[in-house]
Every structure is written in C-alpha cells, then in structure tokens.
Amino acid sequence: MDSRRGGPATGTSVVSTAPVTRCEELVVVIPAHNEEDALGGTLVALERQALAPGHVVVVADNCDDDTGQVALRHGVQVIATEANRDRKAGALNQALGRLAARRPTYVLVLDADTRLAPDFVAKAIATLESDSRIGAVSGLFVGDRPRSLLEQLQANEYARYRTQILTTGRVAVVTGTASVFRFEALCEVAARRGSLLPGTLGDVYDRSAITEDSELTLALRALGWRLASRPECECTTELMPTWGDLHHQRVRWYKGMLDNLRSYGLSRVTAPYVAQQLMIGVGIVTIALLTLLTAAAVASGTFAVQAFWLAVASVFVVNRIVTVWSVGPRGRLIALAVLPEIGYDTALQVAFVRAALRALTRRDVTWNHVALARDRPAADQPPRPAGALCPGSARGSHPGIRYDARDRAGRTRCTS
Amino acid sequence: MYELNTAQLGTLAATGASVAQAWVGAWTLFVAGLAAVAVARVAVRRRALMTTERPDTWPGAAAGPVGRRRWRAGPARRTRTRWSKRSAPPSVEQRRALGSPPS
C-alpha cells in the first residue's frame, strides 16, 4: 500500500537538514457527511502531498451514500460515528477520541470537499516544528473554480481574507476547512472544557458551537497557544452556488461567532473579535445612514459630487483591486466595477443582521448541506445502491480522551 | 410633556442631519484610512518578495512573520541571496520536496 494512502507509514522525511518529521507523526481526520461526490478529489489531493501523512481516517458521519466506499477505494481507514447528533463537532470528537491511543504529534483536520495544495502538509509541519508555542497552522482557503458572478464574488472575498492574513500575520480563525493542529494542544483544550473553556470535559470540539472552528480558535488562544498560517498552506473549498445557500452559510458563520463570543465573555483574547463584530455593526448602520442622506440630498436637489470625496472613494477602489490581485483578471475587473461587490457586501450585511437578531433572541440556525453538481472524477462516482450504508472499520462507543492533569507544567498529557 | 412647534422640529431635523453627516464623513475617512493601510501593507509585502530570494520555508530558518516568498531565480536577484554561512542553499531534490522550482 502506498504510504500516502494511509496504512503503515514509512517514516520518510522531506529534507534531511530539517527537524525529523516522520510521516506517522501526522494523522489526517476527514469528517464526511454524504460526501461521496467530493471526497475522491480530496483524497487524491492528499495523495499528492510532498510530505505524505502517516495515516488518513475518514469519519463517515450518518452517511446514506457511498462516502465510505469512496474512502476505502483510496486505501484509507474509515470509521463510522456512533449515535452522533452533534454534527461535525461530534464526529470529530469521536474520531479524535479514538486517535488518543495512537498519540500522533499532529492532526490535520480536513473537510471532505477541500483540496490541499501539494506543499500544504510539508509547510504546516515545518511551521509547527519551528516553534513549540504554535498550536495550529491554519489553511488559507481559495474559491474552487468560480463559474458565476456570485462564485467570483466569494472567491474575491476569500482572496481578500487571505491577503489580510498574509500581510498582517494575524490568523483570526483556524479554518475548519483544513488546518493542522498540535495534538498536545487539542488534548489541553479537551482537558480544560467544562472549567476554563466552554463545553464538556473530554471534548476537543464544543458540541454546542455551530461554528466549531471559530470556537476552537478562541479555545486555543485562551490557553495561550499561538496560531499561524503559511502562504503555501492553500486549499480550495467549495463556493456557494446560490444566494440562498450563501445567506444560510453566512447566517450560520456570523451567529456562530456571536454565540462563541457570548460564551467566552469579554477578555483580552476575545476583545479583537468583539471589536470586529462591532465594526461590522457600526459599518452597516453607517452605510444605511449614508444611503438615506444621499437619497435625501438627491430628493432635495442639493446632491453634489465633491472632488475630495471622489479621492477618498478612489482609495477604496484601489484597495479592492489590490487585495484581490491574486484571483486573476476576472476578479480584478469585478472589483474595479465596484457595484457588484457593493451588492455582495449588502447581502452579507443582511445575513449579519439576521444572525445578530437570532443571537439576541437565542434562536438556533440550521445547517445547510449543499449538494454541488461539480465535475468529479468519474472513478469516484459509482452508481449508488439503494439504502447503502457507510462501512465502519472501527465501530464502538466514543471513548473520549482521558488526561493526566498532573502534567500541567509540560502541558497536559493525553492517554488513551 | 414637551411640545415642539414646526420651527423647532425643523431645527431638530437639521441638527440630526448634520450630526449624521458628520458621523458618516468621519467613519468614511476612518475606513478609508484602514483601506490605505491595507494597500500599503500589500505594497510592502510585494516589495519584500521582490528583494528577497531566500524562501522562508528553508529548514533551519527562524520562524519569521507570515509572508509569501516565492523562489525566484534570475541573475538580478541572485546577487541578493542571503544564505547564512551555516546553511547551504537547498539542493534540487530539497527544493522539489518543498515545492519550489529548482533554479
């Protein structure tokens, strides 16, 4: 079996002069819920990594398609979740609990519809090895082949976010799409749940959080871990095909972050995030006010264009173009046109307002599983037998992770 | 209970509009400043990319600020290579493993 397809690792390292990074030190965990279409491409991208992971586990979570079969065809381990009602967070908790016996040094959590750049693993591991205080290396996601105006607008937004991370060095959220974690850091998070951190003791991911990645980010920061990202740690992720899907996704993201901030309260860790949410809110109110004043000025016949404000507006246009330069000419043209992005931003603001209202009224939002008719590799699209269930090779109850709390000085130790 | 006549209502509306205009103007300038800073950061990073040849992914390199540094070969930049005496440039095999094109 090819070591890049999981199974026994060969223990090769990329470069002899680097700190020895063996393949088996990294385990990849891919939570998948009915992802038979996308999973094949994800695993192929994983097989093409310059540094092969030691072990790959696909966590088939309440699947009623051939997700497990697709994974098995790629030679990776498949485990099925047991009575999981906590979506992705629950699936990951179960998988990480089972990993405790293996005691990997690093864990790559990867979405089933995300394709990694070939150097992703090598660069992420190198970054983690360069500084023991780094708890996670976040992937930088880019849009997967935008085909419509809406998808291009999302690709532009992702490119802008990527530019922001690369120019400021600040990782706001360790993305759930693809990130490499120091297992020790995850163990410490699980050990501090229920006391220092929200959630249940033994859970790496807080099952009550609807955006588990942003919650885990806050948890890692609260425990003093540093977060990093690298330009080479790029991954492509699916784009929402319709405005409705985008709205559902963003309401979930925004509300998830607001809920997480409420759980953690105001602290030195959460202050920048709270400020960010306030900025969004104030920005929305101000833009509404600007629209109102402009309409009033036009109606009263006092509207006039001033050179100074035109110059100020040109700063925004330059910013828009420069920050999406990496997406190519199409994205730059859309940024230059300004109006499409204003419309897109307005749609996001509507989602934010709705999420804020739901957060205030403590109403839940639902997940919106999007089925995309992308062109998948033909080999990964076998006819689906009716009622097929995901195979599970390691069925059993979720063992959780136990911890040796005495080892606090050297950070919390995991035991199986 | 206070009652406002038409003139007072007009004054109140005008004052409100002025305050709103001032707020919108101030906020716009603030956000424009942030946008200008973002553009400057991109320019600085771009400049750094063009003046350095050493990939920050080179084993043994100190973990510096996050930045995109591509391996760029070419005589003009060759002269600016800053390999430390203790570490030799990566071999072709190493560069391939790291995803950088061999020069």
pLDDT given for residue A381 in this prediction: 37
Instruction: Name which of A117, A286, A316 is nearest B32 (Cβ-Cβ).
Output: A316
- Say yes or no to pLDDT of B38 above 70: yes
Summary mean pLDDT of chain A: 83
Look at B59 and A131 and tell me if their CB atoms are within 8 Å: no
Q: Does A315 touch chain B (CB under 8 A)?
A: yes
Q: Does A130 touch chain B (CB under 8 A)?
A: yes
Q: How far apart are CA A249 and CA A370, in angstroms?
A: 10
| Residue A76, both tokens | 């990776």
- Mean pLDDT, range A130-152, rounded to an integer: 93
Look at B39 and A131 and tell me if their CB atoms are within 8 Å: no
- Distance from the Cα of B19 to chain A's closest Cα (Å) equals 11
Contacts of A123 in chain B (CB under 8 A): 57, 98-99
pLDDT given for residue A105 in this prediction: 92
Tell me: the pLDDT tens digits for A233-277?
999 988 999 999 999 999 999 999 999 999 999 999 999 999 999
Question: Which of A210, A333, A337, A203 is CA-nearest to residue A261?
Answer: A210
Tell me: the pLDDT tens digits for A311-336?
999 999 999 999 999 899 999 999 99
Residues β-bridged to residue A155? none
Tell me: the pLDDT tens digits for A273-302?
999 999 999 999 999 999 999 999 999 998
Question: Which of A44, A109, A92, A32 is CA-nearest to residue A68?
Answer: A32
- Say yes or no to pLDDT of A416 above 60: no
Place of tokens 């507006």: A313
**Position with higher pLDDT, B11 vs A409:** B11
- Mean pLDDT, range A18-47, rounded to an integer: 83
Q: For A329, phi and psi rounded to 5 degrees?
A: -60, -35
| Residue A289, both tokens | 């006010």
Contacts of B45 in chain A (CB under 8 A): 166-167
This prediction's pTM: 0.75
For chain A, give the percent of residues with pLDDT over 70: 82
